[in-house]
């Protein structure tokens, strides 16, 4: 597919973002998607703070309601965007508000034993995870059981969903449907994601891009700097966590982090809050997650990057839950 054709497809889909943290790379300089995009760069996690209205008291109420298989109401007077919340329930693209502002990615496991993913830098092992599940409703959905936070290509966490909340799970990705299976992102592929990045993703918006890299991640002595914007219990963004640049050790906080980083990157648009977002091929297969914006290096001015679905499956140690290709707003 020519670059002209790719741009035309994206424009026709209405998914090329013109605002926010856009990373529009120079595709002609990629060398077929093999040039290292991380050396000499800064990779920044696209994580946002927990909203100030989500208090400890509201969290306790949400956890108590989850024991009954229910959510709780968002307090009256809270102003929050709800444009993308027509796709309700626990699903790929759900809006995570605690322990950080992120986005849930794919569902793993089988009916009655579902888990859901996000970025590893969004949740540590033991963290209880809360989402906005529908307009006016928050749900405490489960507990993080595995968290790998080793930078681009090795950044994924798995949340085990409470038994009482399994009834609210829908594996269908918001806006697009799918994933129809396990994909394999390669140079030139069209990918789409749904996320809750501020401004361009606020309330949940679909966006698209073109894969320009697939290969090793940013690990190792020649890797780029990884910027950790906030940690658990850090609502003002002053403390880091995860891979040695902030408040925690590099490595796997769970049990399945011994594999090799497998990264991919694309020309697209994202902003804080998009971390963890599910990314799928235009045809429906899962491609991976979204975790960072990478600035500098051979892909000017920057890229959106994440962990491949193959590496995510290694960490999850559960099968990908699939769904038909097409929007399914049912909770």
Q: Where in the chain is the domain with CATH 2.40.10.10?
A: 3-47+176-313, 56-168
Q: How far apart are CA 23 and CA 42, in angstroms?
A: 13
**The length of the chain, given as a count of residues:** 331
Handedness of CA 188, 189, 192, 193 (dihedral sign): negative
Residue ranges in the chain modelled with pLDDT below 70: 1-35, 82-85, 201-203, 219-259, 299-301, 331
User: Could you tell me which residues are beta bridge partners of residue 156?
Assistant: 148
**pLDDT of res. 117:** 98
The pLDDT of residue 250: 34
Please state which CATH class domain 3-47+176-313 belongs to.
Answer: mainly beta
With tokens 């594996």, the residue in question is 171
pTM for this predicted structure? 0.82
Distance CA 249, CA 112 (A): 34
Residue 118 is predicted with a pLDDT of 98
CATH topology of domain 56-168: Thrombin, subunit H (2.40.10)
Residue 9, pLDDT score: 35
Element (H, E) at 309: helix 309-316
Name the nearest CA neighbour of 209 among 268, 263, 264. Answer: 268
CA pair distance 267, 303, nearest whole angstrom: 6
Q: What is the dihedral of CA 60, 157, 182, 83, to 10 degrees?
A: 40
């Amino acid at each position: 597919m020519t670059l002209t054709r790719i741009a035309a497809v994206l424009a026709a889909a209405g998914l090329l973002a013109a605002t926010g943290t856009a990373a529009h790379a120079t595709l002609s300089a990629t060398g077929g998607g093999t040039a290292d995009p991380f050396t000499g760069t800064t990779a920044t996690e696209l994580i946002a703070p927990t909203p100030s209205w989500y208090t400890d008291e509201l969290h306790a109420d949400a956890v108590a309601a989850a024991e009954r298989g229910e959510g709780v109401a968002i307090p009256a007077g809270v102003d929050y965007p709800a444009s993308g919340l027509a796709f309700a329930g626990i699903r790929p693209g759900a809006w995570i508000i605690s322990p950080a502002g992120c986005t849930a990615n794919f569902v793993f496991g089988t009916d009655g034993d579902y888990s859901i993913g996000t970025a590893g830098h969004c949740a540590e092992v033991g963290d209880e995870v809360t989402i906005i599940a529908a307009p006016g409703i928050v749900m405490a959905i489960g507990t993080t059981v595995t968290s790998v936070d080793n930078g681009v290509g090795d950044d994924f966490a798995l949340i085990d969903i409470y038994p009482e909340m399994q009834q609210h799970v829908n594996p269908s990705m918001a806006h697009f449907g799918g994933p129809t299976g396990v994909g394999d992102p390669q140079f030139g592929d069209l990918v789409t994601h749904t996320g809750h990045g501020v401004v361009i993703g606020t309330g949940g918006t679909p966006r698209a891009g073109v894969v320009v890299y697939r290969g090793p991640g940013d690990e190792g002595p020649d890797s780029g700097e990884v910027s950790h914007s906030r940690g658990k219990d850090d609502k003002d963004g002053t403390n880091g966590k995860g891979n040695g640049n902030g408040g925690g050790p590099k490595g796997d906080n769970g049990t399945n982090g011994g594999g090799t980083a497998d990264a991919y990157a694309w020309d697209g648009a994202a902003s804080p809050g998009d971390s963890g977002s599910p990314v799928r091929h235009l045809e429906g297969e899962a491609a991976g997650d979204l975790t960072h914006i990478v600035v500098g290096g051979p892909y000017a001015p920057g890229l959106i990057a994440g962990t491949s679905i193959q590496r995510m499956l290694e960490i999850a140690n559960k099968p990908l839950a699939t769904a038909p290709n097409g929007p399914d707003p049912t909770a």
